[in-house]
């Protein structure tokens, strides 16, 4: 578990947010699952809500009334120069969805797509540094890109964030993204051509089996049953709106 008190190094996942059609139902679901409380920033901010763990922000939620929309937890990566990182994105073949813009005095953000269409955000923290907990039950513990173009994706994200790529031996096509200091911050999962691309979020929980039961009891579904892996016990679930994410109890690092 990490308690963040300063901006994370460039390339570190540092925020998540979700747009969904029914905020009250979403708060009931995620509050029951993760113990979150919520802070509404008001009409002037589009009723963007901060999701609080122990009184500190770990994610955000906002209303999205678009009919037929697909919902997902959007992943943001830390940067100390949002505009400069956007230029690296476009120079590397990516595209801009939302150009760099200040969010009051909280920070500066942009939303982009990699060359295959995988959407992600940038957050340059000022007053708001992003998530305050990583790896604590109820907070983000891992992110990974599922894509049918894993080699091209690896080259793109390396050119944008300076990652070192670490292929994992085995039958699965999996590459770990390591920051320049060697810290692993995410992964790329190769899938069948044409799959995705989409960034997936893993949330830490104490007991994946009990958490999967909570998901079912509060209107979600378990897409997979909890199982043990070399990295911990985990399962994929869906919230009441069909948003897919993973629950994970990580194995202690040696």
Residue 144 and residue 197 in contact, taking contact as beta carbons nearer than 8 Å: no
Average pLDDT taken over every residue of the chain: 95
Give the Cα separation of 51 and 40 in Å (integer).
9
Residue 100 and residue 109 in contact, taking contact as beta carbons nearer than 8 Å: yes
The CATH architecture to which 2-125 belongs is: Roll (3.10)
**Domain-by-domain residue ranges, the chain?**
2-125
- Under DSSP, the state recorded for 43 is G
Question: 79 pLDDT exceeds 90?
Answer: yes
Please report the pLDDT score of residue 67 as a whole number: 60
**Do you find a cis peptide bond into 197, omega within 30 degrees of 0?**
yes
- The predicted model gives 54-70 an average pLDDT of 88
Please report the pLDDT score of residue 254 as a whole number: 52
Neighbour count for residue 239 (Cβ, 10 Å): 22
């Amino acid at each position: 578990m990490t308690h963040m008190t300063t901006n994370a190094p460039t390339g570190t996942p540092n925020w998540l947010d979700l747009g969904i059609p029914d905020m009250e139902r979403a708060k009931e679901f995620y509050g029951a699952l993760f113990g979150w409380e919520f802070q509404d920033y008001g009409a002037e901010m589009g009723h963007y809500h901060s999701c609080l763990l122990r009184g500190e922000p770990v994610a955000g939620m906002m209303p999205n009334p678009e009919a037929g929309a697909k919902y997902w937890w959007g992943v943001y990566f830390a940067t100390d120069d949002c505009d400069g990182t956007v230029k690296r994105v476009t120079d590397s073949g990516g595209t801009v969805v939302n150009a760099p813009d200040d969010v009051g005095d909280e920070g500066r953000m942009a939303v982009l797509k990699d060359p295959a269409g995988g959407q992600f955000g940038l957050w340059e923290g000022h007053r708001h540094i992003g998530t305050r907990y990583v790896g604590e039950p109820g907070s983000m513990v891992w992110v990974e890109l599922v894509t049918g173009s894993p080699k091209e994706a690896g080259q793109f994200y390396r050119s944008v964030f300076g990652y070192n790529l670490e292929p994992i031996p085995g039958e699965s096509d999996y590459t770990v993204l390591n920051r320049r200091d060697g810290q692993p911050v995410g992964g790329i999962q190769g899938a069948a051509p044409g799959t995705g691309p989409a960034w997936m979020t893993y949330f830490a929980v104490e007991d994946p089996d009990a958490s999967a039961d909570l998901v079912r009891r509060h209107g979600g579904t378990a897409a997979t049953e909890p199982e043990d892996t070399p990295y911990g016990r985990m399962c994929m679930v869906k919230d009441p709106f069909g948003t897919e994410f993973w629950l994970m109890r990580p194995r202690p690092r040696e």
